[in-house]
Amino acid sequence: MPPPIAPLDGRRILVVEDEYLIAIELKRWLMTAGATVIGPVPSVDQALDLIEDDTPDGAVLDVNLGDGDTVYEVADKLGAVGVPYLFATGDVKLAETSVYRHRPRLEKPFVEAELVRALVELFS
């Protein structure tokens, strides 16, 4: 009997997260689910460079990055090249005031199963 296929097997997922411990945990969770992780990276510039070099299949984006930066420029670039993404954020205002309010999002803190399920839904 062949081994079961991981839910994100073969998917290349960009992770943009500025909190080191969260970034490492997200990477571990995604790899356990079968994904290849691009990054994680903590900044807009690094994320844009990665997208330019190797377009991912999907992305997990922290909204608020260090030094007051937001990830919206990365979201715009992903949207322009047709890459699905979701926001992973503690910023509850995103749902009310942003042009991105209809994008899938996970509210921090979340658990591994929620992340994997949200990404599987993103790809279906």
Spell out the domain ranges in the chain: 12-123
Instruction: Give the CATH number of domain 12-123; options: 3.30.450.30, 3.40.50.2300, 3.30.450.20, 3.40.50.300.
Output: 3.40.50.2300
| C-beta neighbour count of 40 within 10 angstroms | 25
The pLDDT profile of the chain, 124 residues, written as one tens digit per residue, is: 656 679 999 999 999 999 999 999 999 999 999 999 999 999 999 999 999 998 999 999 999 998 889 999 999 999 999 999 999 988 766 655 577 878 898 999 999 999 999 999 999 9
Q: How far apart are CA 7 and CA 16, in angstroms?
A: 21
CA 12 and chain centroid, separation: 10
Retrieve residue 63's tokens. Answer: 């909204």
Q: Are 89 and 105 in contact (CB under 8 A)?
A: yes
**Which among 10, 16, 23, 30 has a CA at the least distance from the CA of 118?**
30
